[in-house]
Amino acid sequence: MHNDMTQDIGSVLLSESQLQEMVAQLGRRISEDYRGKNLLMVSILKGSVVFMSDLMRHITIPCRIDFMSVSSYGSGVKTSGIVKIVKDLDIPLGGYDLLVVEDILDSGMTLQYILELLQARGPASIKLCTLLDKPERRKVDIKADYVGCQVPDEFVVGYGLDYDEKYRNLPYVGILKPEVYSK
């Protein structure tokens, strides 16, 4: 009944302090690179919400934020590549230097779709920032401009990342025990 989330975690991949250091460093780089630009940070819900809320507090230049929610059909551990917009951005993108903020770049199919869609709306520029990157799993030619850290091909949860909508509230990134999603 009262099962503790931590018993489903095989090991901690990134601790709270490692995450904070990583995010602070990304914030410094982005603040330098976007000086004099018109930064709009777009968080892809829901996975990037924890990362976004930490990252934006390390941005030292003026910026705006917005949110977009997409769902890739299928609720398991793999993406289908077919994406539905559940919540669109609130503002037109003309004149903005867009920074798309994601939790993890896996096959890249979801992000490829999102980037093409946003590109078509004519922003001044568009770049991608992902907390985690699983390069081994890539199925399309897409690279992030800012990467917190590369991770091995294991299913990870916490710090916003979920399995079946659970574990997002863990303060660290952990590797989910395979028996949790294979049963």
- Within 8-67, the residues that bind ligand IMP by CB under 6 A are 47
| Distance from C-alpha of 171 to C-alpha of 17, rounded to nearest angstrom | 10
Asked if 81 and 106 count as a contact pair (C-beta separation under 8 A), the reply is no
Contact between 106 and ligand IMP per CB under 6 A: yes
Q: Residue 153 CB, nearest distance to ligand IMP (Å)? A: 9
Q: What are the C-alpha distances in Å from 28 to residues 32, 127, 128, 132?
A: 6, 16, 16, 18
Closest alpha carbon to 99 in 69, 119, 128: 128
Q: Is 106 a catalytic residue?
A: yes
| Distance from C-alpha of 176 to C-alpha of 79, rounded to nearest angstrom | 18
Per-residue contact string for residues 71-90; x = within reach of ligand IMP by CB under 6 A? --------x-----------
Contact segment (CB under 6 A) with ligand IMP among 17-25, 61-69, 103-111, 115-123 equals: 103-111
φ and ψ at residue 60, rounded to 5 degrees: -105, 0
Contact segment (CB under 6 A) with ligand IMP among 34-42, 86-94, 108-116, 120-128 equals: 108-116
- Contact footprint for ligand IMP (CB under 6 A): 47, 79, 102-111, 155-157, 161
- Contact footprint for Mg ion (CB under 5 A): 47
